[in-house]
Amino acid sequence: MPGQSKAKSLPPVAWRYSGNQLKRWRTKANVSREELAAASNYSPDTIKSMEQGVRMPTPRVLDVADGMCQAGGLLSAAQDYLLREKFPARAQDFMEKEREAISRWSYETTLVPGLLQTEPYARALIENRLPPLDEATVEKRIAARIERQALLTGCTPPMAVSFVLYEAVLRSPQVDTEQLHRLLWTFRLRNVVLQVLPFERAISDALVGPMVLLETSDHQRFAFTEGPFVSELSADPEVVSRVSERLSMIRAQALSPAESARFIERMVDQS
């Protein structure tokens, strides 16, 4: 797909669409950027960045613009679609597609997937990131992560989910007995498959990094890859095919679900 490689650098869709509508309404009402900036107590450059989708339009700007442009609540209503800010910006488009998914395959190299994290594990990760987050954002993101776990049990029909965890994930110092029991709990779910890839079974593709493959109800497939600084959600058939092949190879090398359960049980006994 042309331009697909640039998708990873784009701000969230909700920011871009809301900003576009903000500019359209402002222009139609013949309200200058400077006038909106003064009325909402922001600088014109900040308003410009919101209209360009680079910065999330704030509730105050949307409410002020709604009144000045006589939008009848249409601009203020955009606030409901910007609540995804409870997730990091680079993950928001992925979260949207994940909510629509009927199947989800993933492989993790270093961290327990968010859908399987206990609250203490999630807190340890979110509180200790750099640069540090303010307390309100920390609590919002922890709550959002726990809420998101309803995808495993709250969907009708249930989403088919497959997790493969590299052994390094389980050996992390943040993984305590409570977190191991949380992983064992997933073996009770009929829609979830969990496998462990031991160190000795690792292949070269298993060392590349984490990856997720999603399929929506209309059979669109998306591949999500994530690194320390860059994430990419792609619908490019070539990318999707490559991620699918890697996931299939890794799953074939991993322990079976029953063997994986025994592997984790032994870790619990040793802890």
- Residue 250 belongs to a domain with what CATH number? 3.30.870.10
Mean pLDDT of all residues in the chain? Answer: 89
Note whether 46 and 93 are same-domain residues. no
State how far the Cα of 45 lies from the Cα of 34, in Å rounded to an integer. 9
pLDDT higher than 70, residue 7: no
Partner residues linked to 195 by β-bridges: 164
Domain final position from 37, 65, 84: 84
Residue 228: what pLDDT?
64
Inside any domain, residue 206: yes
Concatenated DSSP letters for 131-171? SPPPHHHHHHHHHHHHHHGGGGTS-SSPPEEEEEEEHHHHT
Residues with Cβ within 8 Å of 202's Cβ and at least 6 positions away in sequence, in order, are: 166, 253
SS3 call for 7? helix
Give the confidence band of 15 by pLDDT, cuts at 50, 70, 90.
Answer: confident
Nearest 5°: the CA angle 149, 152, 158 is 145
The encoded tokens of residue 35 equal 């006038």
pLDDT higher than 50, residue 13: yes
pLDDT higher than 80, residue 103: yes
Q: Is the dihedral of CA 259, 265, 269, 271 positive or negative?
A: positive
Inside any domain, residue 33: yes
- Domains in the chain, number: 2
Strand order in the sheet with 101-108: 192-197, 160-166, 101-108, 211-216, 221-226, 231-234
Residue 127: what pLDDT?
92
Inside any domain, residue 3: no
Note whether 191 and 226 are same-domain residues. yes
The string over 167-179, giving b where at least 16 C-beta atoms fall within 10 Å of a residue's C-beta and e elsewhere, is bebbeeebbeeeb
In angstroms, the Cα distances linking 77 to 15, 65, 72, 158 are 13, 12, 10, 31
Note whether 104 and 40 are same-domain residues. no
Note whether 187 and 94 are same-domain residues. yes
Note whether 97 and 61 are same-domain residues. no
Residue 229: what pLDDT?
63
Check which CATH number belongs to the domain holding 80 and give it. Answer: 1.10.260.40
Q: Answer yes or no: pTM beyond 0.85.
A: no
Note whether 204 and 229 are same-domain residues. yes
Inside any domain, residue 140: no
Domain of 49, in residue numbers: 11-84
Which residue matches tokens 């339009």?
A: 57
Tell me how far the alpha carbon of residue 262 is from its chain's centroid: 30
